[in-house]
Structure 1
């Protein structure tokens, strides 16, 4: 007997609160333990990334049903168009996030962001690049798109799962500047995972985002530190993200139609076999 609508909604709300809190708390506890052993926060974060990738990867390998939700997405003829749209959306996510983050920083600064910057500087360029281009893309995608998002999708729809995952991903960075900078990226990555159901595109997009943050000149980004640029870039990103979302919904609709046609064909074959058997028995 299905649960009453109100009870079902309450369960879904509790799921959207408790599951992210559990994932973030487990990651924080493991991170504190690793940093206490390593003794250096940035290197410790890189080591933590390796552990998270190992643990979540093992869970996805040996317990795939924990992370499955229906319908599964099948390849479509529109994949090149989807790829182009995602790459354009990634560029908009980068500039929208940077514009909003820099504008917020000019308004009141951020002690947490300043401390994070000092820690990366003190760790040296090699460790900082290892964290930004290897550990962070792999571990954060494993944790959020590989673990949290599939768990949420087992109970709630796409929009709720995307927003909760994006909020958790941005909160992980623990300061308002990085929260704003990474929020558009988190939305895009969740939509890409929903469409593809594999992690490697998310890892590559995350790496490209971090690489752009390293390579794009500060003078160019500084020109975006105003509310007008932040608003325009965010609006453009949201329009592009909506296009990615619609492509994903079309993919699921196509999968359902294919499944329905396959089921009808199998039913007809089974009916034919039964009829043939009856004729033989006669």
Structure 2
């Protein structure tokens, strides 16, 4: 039986993000001090520390809330397989258009707040090709972040606030957690889509798929750009947006009223 069902609220969620950052700093300092990963570059080390920090936080959260992973990942009454069989293709069709939209937002933010050389170097290192960075960006980060921001935070918000407020607030916390203005806007947009999927499906798996596919698409596009293979034609953009609109309309139709058929332990207020 889940305990502390309304933990966290918005203020507590922000505190959780702060605690996560502190845990990652402590873990990072311990790893560096012990020289356990002395041969690993900074970008790979950051990914490892993030995974370890999230693991420490989740051990505490799961014990405090007394919630099992089955309940965390898929509290819906319908099976995960049946849910994913409906949403997988449209979610994948959403991603290119969502990436273009988020990229446009980021371009405006960068124009308003130009990056310093250090910030440019930091993002270049984050996007550098390699097994560990790609594994972290496309597998570990989507899994861990969705567990926290949709599985714990949005799950609690839906019990306390209206559906719209819960999704928007959890998305804002998700954006703030990235700790830079350049990812805040795009993370907020992705958080809204992922939050809506969670509220409709009562499952983390569609959110994880969306997040992983988005990160994979961004990573692949960056690598192609570095290699001089930039896809930025008008026809590609038009096709991406048409596919995203069609997929969005399909999801709106098939998931209409889905939340009312989901697990009653997560109460939605209209």
Instruction: Tell me whether the two structures share a fold, i.e. TM-score over 0.5.
Output: yes
1:120 corresponds to which of 123, 126, 131: 126
Aligned partners of 1:184, 1:74: CA distance in 2, in Å?
A: 27
Task: Give the length in aligned residue pairs.
Answer: 234
Deviation of 1:138 (Å): 1.8
Partner of 1:252: 259
Deviation of 1:118 (Å): 4.7
Distance 1:56 1:72, change over 3 A: same
Partner of 2:184: 179
Q: More helix per residue: 1 or 2? A: 1
Where do 5+ consecutive residues of structure 1 fail to align?
1-11, 257-282
Distance 1:89 1:120, change over 3 A: closer
Distance 1:142 1:82, change over 3 A: closer
Larger Rg: 1
Distance 1:130 1:221, change over 3 A: same
Aligned partners of 2:246, 2:185: CA distance in 1, in Å?
A: 18
Aligned partners of 1:204, 1:255: CA distance in 2, in Å?
A: 19
| Residue pairs, 1:19-168, within 5 angstroms | 19-39=12-32, 40=42, 42-53=44-55, 55-56=57-58, 60=62, 63-64=66-67, 72=76, 74=78, 82-111=87-116, 113-120=119-126, 125-168=130-173
Deviation of 1:209 (Å): 0.9
Where do 5+ consecutive residues of structure 2 fail to align?
1-5, 33-41, 264-270
Aligned partners of 1:158, 1:212: CA distance in 2, in Å?
A: 29
SS of 1:189 mapped into structure 2: helix
Q: CA RMSD in A?
A: 4.0
